[in-house]
Amino acid sequence: MVQPLGIKFEESLTKKIKPPQDQLGFGVYFTDHMYIIDYAFEKGWHQPRIVPYQPIVLDPAAKIFHYGQSIFEGLKAYKTEDGRILLFRPQKNIERLNRSNDRLNIPQLDESVFFDALKQLISVDQDWIPTEPGTSLYIRPFVFATQPALGLSPSTNYQFIIIMSPVGAYYPEGVNPVKIFVEPEYVRAVIGGVGEAKTAGNYAAALKSQESAKEKGYTQVLWLDGVHRKYIEEVGSMNVFFKINGTVHTPSLNGSILDGITRNSIIQLLKHWNISIEERTISIEELYEAGKDGFLEEAFGTGTAAVISPIGELNWCDEKLVIKNGRTGELSQRLYEALSGIQKGTMPDPFGWMVEVRVK
């Protein structure tokens, strides 16, 4: 693997006006710069550069458009009250990026290339990290196939790009439960497919179902397994947890579920607090039974964007299941506060999750 000798820097001559921190939304505004590195079969990864944020030019035959060879990651940088810049478990993102790359037959990216890119780009655009409670700088690394050829084979050329977006508080008025539609017909992934990879196509395949759930008044879709449509997998862009009779349950990583970094962290936090947590197969029938019998105490989704998203209602084949009277449960609230406190540097970090980025 070719080791880049240094990142070329082309500074943006015009600086954008930063939007007010209470109007950031999610992934709407982008910082002044972006990072790019190219891959060519004969050269490996080469020519790393930080350039002004701008459109990219691709050949219409680029393989990404036709065969969808593309993967992405998502992580956040936070600025602490004393001005330090922290990343949450970035090592996990590079490991997952390379697992996704492997599944999509995309060449591996060197860890040092990834960390160097993150560090330099954050350093250049550090003034873009918002500071208001709940805000952060969302970082979106992605890789896609650029070879202009229609023959069905893995691309010989790729680009790895990182863009960054200041994002607002997910819950400006406090943590709020969402209503979730259990998808009875379409499926997201099957074992042996690409459900474990963070690849664009998984989302493209989910949009139709998500839109029809929205029309019915539901925020997201809960996916069931692709074979029996019986076992719970995950929600939209989140993993899912249920507190049943004092124990927390989450679907095990069976090969079709995305291995969420928030999921992994929640499991560690629960163990640390001596709250029993089981990773296992959970059927939707079993969940409804527990709900009807009064044992389903809380439900929540986990992911980088929201951290914790409590679930207030499920709808499966027109049968509604209201959880915790549609309110946020104590455990969901406690987990949200603990994890977002660690991320923002206001709470101790017993696991050594936070990585400080020292900027110039």
Ligand X SMILES: *Cc1c(COP(=O)(O)O)cnc(C)c1O
Contacts with ligand X by CB under 6 A lie at 74, 198, 234, 237-239, 258, 260-263, 302-304
- CA 202 to chain CA mean position, Å: 13
For ligand X, give the closer residue by CB, 157 or 256.
256
CA atoms within 13 A on the CB side of 4: 22
Nearest one of 244, 252, 217, 256 to 331, comparing CA atoms: 244
CB of 220 to ligand X, least distance (A): 11
Distances in Å between the Cα of 165 and the Cα atoms of 2, 190, 236, 295 are 29, 32, 21, 41
Q: Give the span between the Cα atoms of 324 and 300, in whole angstroms.
A: 11
CB of 120 to ligand X, least distance (A): 23
For ligand X, give the closer residue by CB, 33 or 89.
89
The helix (run of H) or strand (run of E) holding residue 136 is strand 136-145
Q: Give the span between the Cα atoms of 168 and 202, in whole angstroms.
A: 26
For ligand X, give the closer residue by CB, 225 or 234.
234
For ligand X, give the closer residue by CB, 303 or 310.
303
For ligand X, give the closer residue by CB, 107 or 260.
260
Beta strands 75-79 and 85-88, pairing class:
antiparallel
CB of 68 to ligand X, least distance (A): 15
CB of 315 to ligand X, least distance (A): 20
**What residues pair up with 313 in beta bridges, in sequence order?**
179, 322
CB of 189 to ligand X, least distance (A): 8
CB of 52 to ligand X, least distance (A): 28
For ligand X, give the closer residue by CB, 120 or 199.
199
E-assigned strands of 203-334?
220-224, 232-235, 239-244, 247-251, 277-280, 296-303, 307-316, 319-322
